[in-house]
Amino acid sequence: MGAAPLASAVTTVRTGAILVVTINNPPVNALGQAVRQGLAAAMQQAEADDAVAAVLLVAAGKAFIAGADIREFGKPAVPPSLPEVCRSMEECSKLVVAAIHGAALGGGLEVAMSAHYRLALPGAKLGLPEVLLGLLPGSGGTQRAPRLMGVKAATELMLSGKQLGAKAALQAGLVDRLAEGDDALAAGLAYANELLAQKAPLRRTRDIAIADPAAALAELEQLKAETAKKSRGLFSPLKIIECVQAAVQQPFDQGLATERALFLECLDSPQRAGLVHAFFAEREVAKIPEAKLAAPRPFSTIAVIGGGTMGAGITVSALDAGFAVTMIERDAESIARGQANVEKVYNGLIAKGRMTPEAKAAIMARYTPTTRYEDIAQVDLVIEAVFEDLEVKKAVFRELDRVCKSGAVLATNTSYLDIDAIADATKRPQDVIGLHFFSPANIMKLLEIVVPSKVSPDVVATAFELAKKLKKVPVRAGVCDGFIGNRILAVYKQAADFIMEDGASPYEIDAAVRAFGYPMGPFQVTDLAGGDIGWATRKRRAATRNPLARYVEVADRICERGWYGQKTGRGFYLYPEGVRVGQNDPEVLAIVDAERAKKGVTPRAFTQEEILRRYMAAMVNEGAKVVAEGIALRPLDVDVTFVAGYGFPRHRGGPMKWADMQGLPSILADIEAFAKEDPLFWQPAPLLVQLVKEGRNFDSLNQG
Ligand code: 3H9
């Protein structure tokens, strides 16, 4: 047995005739330069050593290989490239076996596909998720996966970014063998020895022929048509299909060259920059100052106060995460409705064949309905989701203060109200925090964790721990009207109202916003959420509104008619029975015209570009204020809020990242130009002005 230390990220040890090559690059064995270098050297070592008959590739830690090192994208490439490493592995004259445990993603799976044989352990996850980063598999994945799995299955894997478990990967043809247990080294050695004993051939993926090319090309045409419809302006999905077409039509090496060229195009695209930003930002948001100060409090039982849409959604989310949940409502009728709301979600899954009645029964066994506060005396964490009214919420918190055990975390799911005031209704404000869920709470990923002034750091840490258990994306927010998301939303929604009153129809505005990449425009969202909700807020704020500030009354006129959107069949759009996509309503246009006439506004035309410039400038400007006030910790927290909770197109990274990519001077110039029309609304954020002056961007505030 001989050991040869290479770069420390990759080590080799010979065991009999097998050279064991171990990748050790924590946390996830990404294929950074040192790993690529180490793998290339290991392959040379195997070629040069006559005593080596086979190479076994294994990895240390929790993942096999999570892919290329995403942090290297956008920096100058340092050789050897990953395609070169993959080629040296595939062309190796010794048998190459990969033993896969944990994630083998992107470049990680491409490395494995370049081995001659693949073994997977039970926890293995295999996938080509490059599309989620605006990329395509760029180390032969688009050429090798179709040869191993068939054209359609491989293309679907690449277009979806989905991960396959070990068994599914075996069925798909991505791996050759499953092993029991968790010892990849032992299982890999046994497999490699078995292959050597059988004198198994060097089975190179590149040599596998693609069956029935004509049928494969027809399938690709169909996938292309579906993808063009579904991918809403995304760049890399169609490029993936082009690569697979090359795999079918071109010799292997030419296919690789096509893949390389298209990969580099994707790498250069702003969509890649936006998606990679979103990937890291979603991980950075959990890095909060409180995590350094305190550990989370232990918790296993949860109470939810209120069984309405929100309370039921939160209950389902907590039940799905394995918690025991007690739901409180004020009387027997309301708690029965609350339980029905919870069961409706599971019954829907059963109806779709996605859950068995037995699984539902097992989940519901952890659910306890009650009308008595005393029943939650021993609960670890309470989430209040009652009517959005400060006095109602304060009364609930006084009750919680009376009954809950000392140390219980008391959370409110308010979306606007002053959490400091709610905390002060108790004698334990250090235990009170905001958990702002988004509807439907069991589906939406965003959780704004709102930190009032007296809360203790371990409660904040507990809230982040809860988010992790619920598989939410948590964003830390400070207390203000609307926190991060709804505060910024209120401002750009106003900008949309101004554009409407000045001449664009709500339908033109929605279309412009959809063209930017949102699934819906702001008026469609109003109709979906219910116009009455915003109306109630506007009425609540009417007394404190600056009388000099511009106020557009169109939405009020619409609500006064009882047109609250989808639920009433009519709002900004018409929803005749059975129609979910709204139809334009000439009567709404007449209302808009009447309001313009009343204000003496002569309507003018807006291009999509101008609509977007105003809409986005309002969003970015308020985002900058939210960051400067410390309501959001960093610009990236604003980005994650909007991508995870407000439908902001992920490939643009978030509003602040988008602004950086546009260039902050051009955004500021727009705001200054708009301010000439309405100086009160368009006040440039001092932070934006300062960054422009210093030649910096928002991203410079994300570091450290
Ligand atoms: C690619 O491969 C291109 C090739 O086709 C062609 C090349 C020529 N690089 O998510 P976690 C960090 S594209 C760098 O919290 P988990 C992550 O930021 C790549 N860093 O853990 C975090 O850092 P920190 C295709 C990476 O257990 C830490 O690792 N591959 C990478 O919940 C832990 O991550 C992918 O898209 C990376 N590739 O999930 C896979 N991956 O501690 C991306 C992770 O400083 N990765 N980090 O915050 C994942 O999906 C998940 O990280 C994984 C683990 C499932 C692996």
Segment 96-122 shows an average pLDDT of: 98
The whole-number pLDDT of residue 593 equals 98
Tell me if 282 CB under 6 Å of ligand 1: no
Among 561, 472, 565, CA closest to 522: 565
Average pLDDT over every residue of 632-644: 98
pLDDT at position 4 is: 45
The alpha carbon of 299 is separated from its chain's Cα centroid by a whole number of angstroms, namely 26
Best mutation site among 28, 87, 133, 266 for ligand 1, i.e. most ligand atoms within 8 A of its Cβ?
28
Tokens 């009388």: give the residue: 547
Place of tokens 């190459």: 96
What does the pLDDT read at residue 3? Answer: 45
**What is the pLDDT at residue 453?**
96
Distance 631 CA to ligand 1 centre (A): 29
Which residue CA neighbors atom 21 of ligand 1 most closely?
28
Q: CB-based burial of residue 322 (10 Å sphere; 0-12 exposed, 13-18 middle, 19+ buried)?
A: exposed
- 666 Cα: distance to centroid of ligand 1 (angstroms): 34
Mean pLDDT on 197-221: 96
Of 233, 245, 231, the C-alpha closest to 155 is 245
Residue among 345, 341, 343 at smallest CA distance from 309? 341
CA of 144 to the centre of ligand 1 (A): 22
pLDDT at 7 over 50: no
pLDDT in tens, 135-147: 999 999 999 999 9
Atom of ligand 1 nearest to the CA of 141: 5
User: 266 in ligand 1 pocket by Cβ < 6 Å?
Assistant: no
The H helix count followed by the E strand count for the chain is: 29, 20
For the stretch 60-71, pLDDT in tens is 999 999 999 999
What pLDDT sits at residue 520? 95
pLDDT at 630: 97
Q: What is the pLDDT at residue 704? A: 64
Mean pLDDT for 209-238 is 94
Domains of the chain: 6-251 (3.90.226.10), 299-483 (3.40.50.720), 486-701 (1.10.1040.50)
- pLDDT tier for residue 577 given thresholds of 50, 70 and 90: confident
**Which active-site residues does the annotation give?**
110, 130
Atom of ligand 1 nearest to the CA of 138: 6
CA distances to 207, 323, 346, 363, 392 from 356, rounded to whole Å, are 44, 19, 9, 11, 38
Any atom of ligand 1 within 6 Å of the Cβ of 39 = no
User: What is the Å distance from ligand 1's center to 282 Cα?
Assistant: 12
Residue 560 confidence (pLDDT): 97
Strands (E) in 547-639, as ranges, are 573-574, 583-584
Atom of ligand 1 nearest to the CA of 110: 5
Residue from 35, 62, 65, 70 to probe ligand 1 pocket by mutation (most atoms less than 8 Å from CB): 70
**27 cis-preceded (ω within 30 degrees of 0):** yes
- Quick one: average pLDDT of 564-586? 92
| pLDDT cut 90: percent of the chain above it | 92
The answer to ipTM > 0.95 is yes
Q: How far is the CA of 66 from the centre of ligand 1 (A)?
A: 5
Please give the model's pTM, rounded to 2 decimal places: 0.94
- 185-191 contact pairs (CB < 8 A, 24+): 185/20, 185/22, 185/56, 185/58, 185/99, 187/99, 187/119, 187/121, 188/20, 188/56, 188/57, 188/58, 188/97, 188/98, 188/99, 188/119, 189/15, 189/18, 189/20, 189/56, 191/97, 191/99, 191/117, 191/119
- ∠ CA 606-609-615, rounded to 5°: 85
Percent of the chain whose predicted confidence (pLDDT) is above 70: 99
pLDDT score at 389: 87
Name which of 98-112, 339-353, 461-475, 530-544 the model is least confident about.
530-544
Which of the pair, 385 or 233, is modelled with greater confidence?
385
Q: Which pLDDT value is given to residue 608? A: 97
**CB of 107 sitting under 6 A from ligand 1:** yes
pLDDT at 231 over 90: no
Mean pLDDT of the chain, nearest integer: 96
Residue 137 CB less than 6 A away from ligand 1: yes
- Nearest protein CA to atom 55 of ligand 1, as residue: 103
Question: Which pLDDT score is estimated for 533?
Answer: 82
Q: How far apart are CA 465 and CA 302, in angstroms?
A: 13
Arithmetic mean of pLDDT, 233-259: 97
Residue type, 660: D
Note whether 271 and 234 are within 8 A (CB): yes
Tell me the sheet residues that pair with 97: 56, 117
Read off the pLDDT of residues 341-379 as tens digits, 9 standing for 90 and up: 999 999 999 999 999 999 999 999 999 999 999 999 999
Residue 1 has pLDDT above 50, yes or no: no
130 Cβ below 6 A of ligand 1: yes
Looking at residue 541, what is its pLDDT? 83
Q: Residue 6 has what pLDDT?
A: 45
Residue 605, SS3? coil
User: Residue 127 has what pLDDT?
Assistant: 98
Confidence of residue 627 (pLDDT cuts 50, 70, 90): very high
Ligand 1 binding pocket includes 110 (Cβ within 6 Å): yes
pLDDT for position 5: 44
